[in-house]
A and B are shown apart, each in its own frame.
Chain A
Amino acid sequence: AQSVTQPDIHITVSEGASLELRCNYSYGATPYLFWYVQSPGQGLQLLLKYFSGDTLVQGIKGFEAEFKRSQSSFNLRKPSVHWSDAAEYFCAVVGRRGGATNKLIFGTGTLLAVQP
């Protein structure tokens, strides 16, 4: 069955430092992968997505992610974190192809705190 693992429940980084959030997926074929961010008190917003092609994808707010098939990973990165990046981050994979809907399977999330 498809699944997503985010091994880090909580991460704290200093403002200006680099960031990497880990995501591992389980899926038999080429996956459709997403990263979403949830700021406090808000719904989820899409940061970036990967389906095919270049394995390094760029997203909004200066984020990027790299798809590595050999490691079944899709880690999210940012070279310099801003205080406004404090939020919860979710990795997701499309759990079912075909049919009438794009059913997402989410990881358990990583809560990012940013120190001044």
Chain B
Amino acid sequence: DVKVTQSSRYLVKRTGEKVFLECVQDMDHENMFWYRQDPGLGLRLIYFSYDVKMKEKGDIPEGYSVSREKKERFSLILESASTNQTSMYLCASSISGRPDREQFFGPGTRLTVL
């Protein structure tokens, strides 16, 4: 089975801190994604990556950056955390960019910014 792991289930940070959220997949998938999930808004795509060192903005990239130095690892970075970035963050991966390919999700990181 595909496994997508996220470094923390719960995280509490202070306003202005630099925050790293880590995601690792173990199935040699090409594509990786970062979403944030908020009540009443569903999942919104922040960034995605289709190859090592390749990335593309999603629908809500402001305030975030990403890094993919190795194929299995995709990091989300909050350069200066703000309270409006308090949310659930979900990482996902898929084997390729074909539209019929399933995305596999990690368990999520619930981030609170105080």
Contacts of B97 in A (CB 8 A): 99-102
Comparing B13-21, B41-49, B60-68, B71-79, the segment that makes contact with chain A is B41-49
Tally A residues with Cβ within 8 Å of B: 25
Q: Does B90 count as interface, using CB distance less than 8 angstroms?
A: yes
Beyond A43-B4, A49-B102, whether A90 also contacts B107 by CB under 8 A is no
Q: Does A42 contact B (CB under 8 A)?
A: yes
Chain B contacts for A32, CB-based, 8 A: 99-100
The residues of B with any CB-CB pair to A shorter than 8 Å are 4, 31, 40-45, 48, 50-51, 54, 56, 58, 90, 92, 94, 96-103, 105-108
Residues on A lying within 8 angstroms of B by beta carbon are 9, 32, 34, 36, 41-46, 49, 51, 90, 94, 97, 99-104, 106-109
Can you list 24 pairs linking A and B with CB atoms under 8 Å apart? A9-B40, A34-B102, A36-B105, A41-B107, A44-B43, A44-B90, A46-B103, A51-B99, A51-B100, A90-B42, A90-B43, A94-B99, A97-B99, A100-B31, A100-B50, A100-B54, A101-B48, A101-B56, A102-B31, A102-B101, A104-B43, A104-B45, A104-B103, A108-B41
